Chain A
Amino acid sequence: MAYMSMGEAHRRITDYLNRFSDAVSSQDVVSLKQLLSFSSNSPSLLSLADSLNVFQDANRLIKQSDNYSPFADITVPLFRSLQHYRTGNLVDAYLAFEKSANAFIQEFRNWESAWALEALYVIAYEIRVLAERADRELASNGKSPEKLKAAGSFLMKVFGVLAGKGSKRVGALYLTCQLFKIYFKLGTVHLCRSVIRSIETARIFDFEEFPKRDKVTYMYYTGRLEVFNENFPAADQKLSYALINCNPQSEANIRMILKYLIPVKLSIGILPKDWLLEKYNLVEYSNIVQALRRGDLRLLRHALEEHEDQFLRSGVYLVLEKLELQVYQRLFKKIYIIQKQKDPSKAHQMKLDVIVKALKWLEMDMDVDEPSLWMSRWNV
Chain B
Amino acid sequence: MERRHHSQSHSQRQQGRNHFSSSSSNQSRSNNRFSFPKSSSSSSSANDVRDRRRETQEEKQEEAIVGTCPFMCPEAERLQRQRLRDLAVFERLHGDPRNSSPALAVKKFCRTMSAKEVRASDVRPLPVLEETLNYLLSLLDSTEHPFEVIHDFVFDRTRSVRQDLIMQNIVNDKAINMFEKIVKFHVISHHKLRSSCSSSSISPLHYLNLEQLTKALTSLYNLYEANWSSKPIHEKEAEFRSFYVLLHLDSNGQPVGESLSLWFRHVPSPIIKSKEMWFARQALRYFQMGNYRRFLSTVAAEASYLQYCIIEPYIDEVRSLALCCIHNCYYKLHPYPLGHLSKVLMMEESDVELFCNAYGLQTCIDELGNKLLPTKQTTFCRPKGGLQNYSFLGFQQLGRQIEL
Looking at the assembled complex, report how far the CB atom of A319 sits from the nearest CB atom of chain B, in whole angstroms.
7
CA distance A309 to B268 in the complex (A): 10
Number of A interface residues at 8 Å Cβ cutoff, please give it: 70
Contact A375 to B39, CB < 8 A, known contacts A73-B13, A157-B49: no
Contact with A along B315-328 (1 / 0, CB 8 A): 00000000001101
Looking at the assembled complex, report how far the CB atom of A223 sits from the nearest CB atom of chain B, in whole angstroms.
13
Q: Are A318 and B261 in touch, CB under 8 angstroms? A: yes
| A198 interface residue (CB < 8 Å to B) | yes
Closest partner residue, chain B, to A312 (CB atom): B264
**A residues within 8 A CB of B58?**
146
Closest partner residue, chain A, to B321 (CB atom): A377
CA distance A313 to B28 in the complex (A): 42
Contact A319 to B31, CB < 8 A, known contacts A70-B20, A98-B2: no
Q: Are B9 and A144 in touch, CB under 8 angstroms? A: no
| B138 interface residue (CB < 8 Å to A) | no
| B27 interface residue (CB < 8 Å to A) | yes
Q: Are A142 and B261 in touch, CB under 8 angstroms? A: no
Q: Are A369 and B261 in touch, CB under 8 angstroms? A: no
Q: Are B289 and A313 in touch, CB under 8 angstroms? A: no
Contact A322 to B261, CB < 8 A, known contacts A153-B53, A373-B293: no
| A272 interface residue (CB < 8 Å to B) | no
Number of B interface residues at 8 Å Cβ cutoff, please give it: 64
Closest partner residue, chain A, to B288 (CB atom): A322
CA distance A168 to B23 in the complex (A): 16
Closest partner residue, chain B, to A189 (CB atom): B262
Q: Are B23 and A315 in touch, CB under 8 angstroms? A: no
**B residues within 8 A CB of A230?**
251, 259, 261
- Which residue in A69, A103, A166, A195 is a CB contact (below 8 Å) of B28? A166
Looking at the assembled complex, report how far the CB atom of B120 sits from the nearest CB atom of chain A, in whole angstroms.
25
Contact A161 to B37, CB < 8 A, known contacts A153-B49, A315-B262: no
CA distance A24 to B20 in the complex (A): 9
| B265 interface residue (CB < 8 Å to A) | yes
Contact A109 to B2, CB < 8 A, known contacts A195-B37, A230-B259, A316-B261: no
Q: Which of A148-180 contact B (CB under 8 A)?
A: 149-150, 153-154, 156-157, 159-161, 163-166, 168
- Which residue in B28, B31, B288, B291 is a CB contact (below 8 Å) of A370? B291
CA distance A157 to B5 in the complex (A): 16
Enumerate chain B interface residues (CB-CB to A < 8 A): 2, 5-6, 9-10, 13, 18-21, 23-25, 27-29, 31-40, 45, 48-49, 52-53, 55-58, 229, 251, 255, 258-262, 264-267, 269, 272, 284-285, 288-294, 325-326, 328-330, 344
14 contacts between A and B (CB under 8 A): A146-B56, A150-B56, A157-B40, A160-B38, A160-B39, A161-B28, A164-B32, A228-B261, A228-B262, A230-B261, A324-B289, A369-B293, A373-B290, A376-B325
- Beyond the given A107-B21, A161-B40, A163-B34, could you list 7 further A-B residue pairs with CB under 8 A, ordered by the A residue number? A109-B29, A163-B40, A189-B262, A195-B37, A312-B264, A315-B265, A373-B291
